[in-house]
Each structure stands twice: as C-alpha cells, then as structure tokens.
Amino acid sequence: MSLSAPDFMLCDIPIQGDLILAPMDGYSDVPFRTLCRRFGSSMSYTGFVNAIALIQGDELAWRDLDFLPEERPVIFQIFDQSEENLLEAALRIQKLQPDAIDVNMGCSSRRVSSRGAGAGLLRDPDKIGRIIHRLTAALDVPVTAKIRIGWDQTSLNYLEVAHAVEDNGGALIAVHARTRNQGYLGGADWDTIAEIKSAVTIPVIGNGDVQTPQDIERLKTSTGCDGVMIGRGAIGNPWIFQRDPSEAPPIEDRIQIMQGHLDHMISYHGEELGIIRFRKHLKRYLEPLSITKANLRPMLTCVDKQQLSGQLDALKQIYG
C-alpha cells in the first residue's frame, strides 16, 4: 500500500505529517519522543546537546543522541557559539546517521544565550550564515535551524536570519515566534511566522502558544506554515498530536498512557532516575484532574515504582 503524499519535504526526505514534538531540554528523551510519535508526531528532535560536551566525549551528552529506528526521521540538535565547535561536533555525530542536524538558535536561557550560543546567535546573522554554510558544505545530511524572532523587540531581525539560513544551504527553519528577552512570557507573534514563510522557499515550521487542536489549525491557517511544532503543550498531553478537538481521554486511558510512559522511563533511565524524570511529566498529566496538594504531593515525591503505580491506579477509583 502506497503512502499518501508527504506534507512537506526535508531535502529528499518525505515528511508524513505536519505536527512535530519540539526539542525540549530535559524532556525530549527516547521515552517521551516515542510516545508522541505513536500519537502522531512526524519527526523526532533530540533535546539540544552541548557541542563542547560531545567533542570532549561526555557520555551523558552522547546518550542524549540515542534514538530508536521507529523515530525516523530523527534530527540531532546541537548548540554552541563557536563555528569550529559546531562543525567538529556535527562531523562526529553524523556517524550516528541522523536524518538531519539542527543548530539551536532559540534557547533563551541566560547561561546559553549570554555566551553567544542559542538565541545569542541571533545578534549576528552573518555568523549564522557562516555556520550554516560550513555545515552544509561538510556534512552529508541536511542542516536545519530553530530560531526565535530576535533578541528583543528592538532587534526583530527574523527575516535577515531566515535568509541567512536559506541562502547558505539550510534545509528547514523552525520558528519560535518570541524574542530571546520574552523567554516564554507574552504571546507568540504568529504574524512573524507568516512573514518568514512568504520570504523563503524552504519548509517553515511554526512554534509558540499551541495548546489545543484548535490552536494547531489557527496557526496553520494564519501563517501558511508547513508544519506545527508543539512543545509545552505536549507535556502531559501527548494526544494533542491526534488532533482530536474533543475532550482528553477518559481516566482509564489516561492512567494507562501514564503507566506506559512510566515503565518506558524506568526501562530506559533506571528506576530512580526514570521516576524522577517522569515526575515532571506526571504533574502535567494530572493538572486537569484538580487533585488536592495533599494527594498530589505523595505522587510527586515518590521514588518507588510499585508505590507510584499503585497511586496512579487509585486515581481510577477517585475520578473514574
């Protein structure tokens, strides 16, 4: 049976689907990415990985590039302020055969952007052009970029940055429609995504303020973007990728999804670390249930798998 026409192309790679889980530091691990892929995310981005750590052979940094075959197309995302470090790291990780390598130009964290990496690169579009040019000339896989719309409201240079990416061989641009100074505050300016889409010929992925299936359709309609990237709106809500405008799954299904996510986190990270990392997701999974702080606290501090599983099962009796 033949596949339907792709929603867009990443160079010669057909992308079947227009919804994509955003790369999120501390969240975008194998268990969460594969869960979101099962619900409909069409590509996997790793969380952003420090180029220097990769060059130095840091085991945890290299493990952040783990992926499963069913995640393809998979994109490795790296960050640094140095052109040389980004090139060296990209050449090394290319050996793991990702489908593309992405340069993070959107991280607003002070520890990253203040050193000139992440969103700090937005202050120098010429440097962005050099980075993309050097990577595309040296790599055998497509090079992409995830950007913000500027450093602050006085330097909204997103069109200049977008052209620097495309003109130097970049294959795709993902746009978080906020400035670095905004962080995650204030509304995302979707009009800027529409402007970028009109200005370049490569695929443009829109990102920012997507919390519901209705938001997905509004963003696509208002910007004409090729795909929609969902970050915080997917935490505790992987079924957003199903695009179902009806209510979230009934409690029995919700608990089953949570249990499966927990099991995969433990099998991948080990019991202690797996539970600790899962608890960040757990808080978001449970938000719609309006659980009292007294009942929520034991689950968010639990370090035992059987105990936590029992606490989750007990929710069926309370909210079923």
Position 126, amino acid: D
Q: Print burial letters for 222-257: b (CB count within 10 Å at least 16), e (below 16).
A: ebebbbbbbbbbbbbbbbbbebeeeeeeebeebbeb
Q: Which residues contact 208 (CB under 8 A, 6 or more apart)?
A: 175, 176, 177, 178, 188, 189, 190, 193
> What SS3 state is found at 303?
coil
What does the DSSP 8-state code read for residue 22?
Answer: P
107 is catalytic: yes
Given the residues 36, 107, 225, 302, select the one marked as catalytic: 107
N- to C-terminal Cα separation, the chain: 40
- How crowded is residue 287: how many other Cβ atoms within 10 Å of its Cβ? 13
- How many degrees, rounded to 5, is the angle at CA 137 between CA 54 and CA 120? 55
Dist. CA 48–CA 85, nearest whole Å:
14
Alpha-carbon gap, residue 18 to 196, rounded angstroms: 17
> What positions carry a catalytic annotation?
107
